[in-house]
């Protein structure tokens, strides 16, 4: 009998120990997991949850403002460079700029002769007029001319006539000292005749030969342009 009691007590104690160990185990629900913290990724000014974000607003946005300012300056600089490049692309070629002004020496042009120079791709007639041509052109009745201009209006010094040597009809180059007018110019393309002051006297040309902008640097030098 005592043996039976001993075996029963052993089994009961063993069962109780096993049951107590089983029920004492920690059993976690999914809500018991530790919360993930992102504090190390937060800005220092935002790590304290007890402080209002309004207090640190200026501190947090100053970096953004600085970056925006730097980006804006860089954008303006790039736009300026692009704009200057675009403007320079529309500028005349360097060879044309170099020819914007032409200095002409007059001492080698004999009386009665016409020398031809190049200015901005155009021929320039420099006519050293004799006194007879000067008097002839100043006696002309301008009221009978197609494009009325006095001789005094077309020259700065009586003995020197400076003109662009392109016919005002269709752009041909007239021939000096030829045509129906003594000491004048004749266009061989369509028969326009110009006098010794470059004024149209006969033919289809509608206006006188053009006078470029020029000035005398001294008695023997002119600057065109």
Give 3-56 as a DSSP string: HHHHHHHHHHHHHHHHHHHHHTS----GGGSPPP--GGGS-GGGS-TTS-GGGG
pTM of this prediction? 0.58
Q: Are 181 and 165 in contact (CB under 8 A)?
A: no
Pairing of the two strands 192-194 and 185-187: antiparallel
Report the 10 Å Cβ neighbour count for 201.
21
What pLDDT score was predicted for residue 4? 54
Q: Are 121 and 96 in contact (CB under 8 A)?
A: yes
What pLDDT score was predicted for residue 61? 74
What pLDDT score was predicted for residue 5? 55
For each of the domains in the chain, give its residue range(s) and CATH number, in order of start.
34-91 (1.20.5), 99-224 (2.102.10.10)
What pLDDT score was predicted for residue 72? 87
* Catalytic pick among 82, 128, 190, 193: 190
Maximum alpha-carbon separation in the chain: 171
What pLDDT score was predicted for residue 66? 81
For the record, the structure tokens of 21 come out as 């160990």
190 as an active site residue: the answer is: yes
What are the average pLDDT values for consecutive 10-residue runs of the chain, which has 225 residues?
59 60 54 71 71 69 80 86 78 64 90 92 93 93 93 94 94 92 93 94 94 92 90
**Residues linked to residue 136 through DSSP beta bridges, in sequence order:** none
What H or E segment, with its residue span, contains residue 186?
strand 185-187
What pLDDT score was predicted for residue 189? 92
């Amino acid at each position: 009998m005592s043996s039976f009691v001993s075996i029963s007590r052993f089994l009961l104690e063993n069962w109780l120990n096993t049951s107590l160990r089983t029920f004492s185990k920690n059993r976690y629900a999914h809500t018991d997991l530790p919360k993930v913290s992102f504090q190390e990724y937060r800005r220092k000014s935002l790590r304290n949850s007890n402080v209002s974000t309004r207090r640190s607003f200026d501190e947090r946005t100053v970096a953004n403002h600085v970056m925006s300012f730097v980006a804006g300056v860089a954008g303006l600089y790039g736009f300026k460079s692009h704009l200057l490049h675009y403007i320079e692309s529309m500028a005349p070629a360097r060879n044309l700029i170099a020819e914007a002004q032409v200095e002409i020496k007059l001492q080698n042009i004999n009386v009665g002769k016409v020398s031809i120079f190049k200015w901005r791709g155009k021929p320039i007639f420099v006519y050293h007029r004799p006194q007879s041509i000067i008097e002839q052109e100043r006696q002309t009745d301008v009221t009978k001319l197609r494009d009325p201009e006095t001789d005094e209006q077309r020259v700065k010094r009586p003995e020197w006539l400076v003109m662009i040597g392109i016919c005002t009809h269709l752009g041909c180059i007239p021939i000096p000292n030829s045509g129906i007018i003594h000491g004048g110019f004749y266009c061989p393309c369509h028969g326009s005749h110009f006098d010794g002051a470059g004024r149209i006297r006969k033919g289809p040309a509608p206006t006188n030969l053009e006078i470029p902008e020029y000035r005398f640097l001294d008695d023997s030098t002119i600057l065109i342009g």
